[in-house]
Amino acid sequence: MTSLVQRRSEAVTPISAHTSKMGRALRRVAHVPPSLVSLLAGALLWEVVGRVVNVSFFPPLTTVLARLAEMVRSGLIIAPLWSSLINLVVGFGLSLVFGLGIGVLMGRYPKVEAALGIYVYALLTAPALVFAPIFFSILGDGRGSILAVVVMYSLFIMIINTADAIRGVPNFLVEMGRSYGATESQILWRIIIPAATPMIMAGVRLGAGRAVTGMINGEMFIAVVGLGQVVTEAGGRFDGASVLAVLLVIIAVAVAAVGLVQAVDRRLTAWLPKTSRE
């Protein structure tokens, strides 16, 4: 009887151990970030489609990465990337200052909204790139024209989001501040703007993504410098691998810009409950 029990125990032990190992493996898989899974799936799909289709304008991902590494080694990426980053930082910085300032004024003061609202909404809906020839004729083919395009792409979405955020602050918070004797400036800086910060930062994230689009479009269609120049020259040679390699760099810049804004957002809204930030 004892030997029978021992044989059954020995038979069950390997099964239990195998089940335990599978459980640990599944738990490790469950902790993999969904974004990483999606990125790997997209990379695999790109590689497979590129090899199956086998056309020059859509090479496999491994070919594009190899071309990108070659361009980095030869210096075809670093200097243009640095020039483009300067255009992006300066242009987005100008958009941020004017976008938040005008948005706060429009959201807080109805007369400012009545005076500027029609222009802001009109310029938001207008194709920003159609202003490129105007900027070129006024500012020339230098950095000023590119910065103007970046501002046109990113400014107005931040104005509108900021104004909506300011208007969306509950009235009871303002009335409570007044009941404690707060001045208009104290109400604005200590009550309204902190309460509106989460929605304001949502507009800043949108503005950051649009600023990258404005940067590359301005460089391609006005001055032909930076990453825009590399894309234009590669496109003229029908070099699909180089175009896609630069596109990966542009996407990385956009993701980094939005990620930086999100980091600032988390810091500014750390006082909110977690459910409110989500």
Give the whole-angstrom CA distance, residue 61 versus residue 51: 9
Residue-range domain boundaries for the chain:
1-31, 75-277
CB-based contact 168:147 (threshold 8 Å): no
Nearest C-alpha neighbor of 193 from the set 269, 261, 111: 269
The string of pLDDT tens digits covering residues 72-116 is 898 888 888 998 999 999 999 999 999 999 999 999 999 999 999
Which CATH number describes the domain made up of 75-277?
1.10.3720.10
pLDDT above 90: residue 181: no
Nearest C-alpha neighbor of 208 from the set 163, 172, 258, 248: 258
Q: Is the pTM of this model over 0.75?
A: yes
pLDDT for the residue numbered 158:
95
CB-based contact 262:254 (threshold 8 Å): no
CB-based contact 108:192 (threshold 8 Å): yes
What are residue 225's phi and psi, to 5 degrees? -135, 175
The string of pLDDT tens digits covering residues 49-74 is 888 887 778 888 888 899 999 988 98
Q: Return mean pLDDT, the chain.
A: 84
Q: Any residues with CB less than 8 A from the CB of 228 and at least 6 apart, and which? A: 84, 215, 216, 217, 218, 219, 220, 221
Mean pLDDT of 182-204: 90
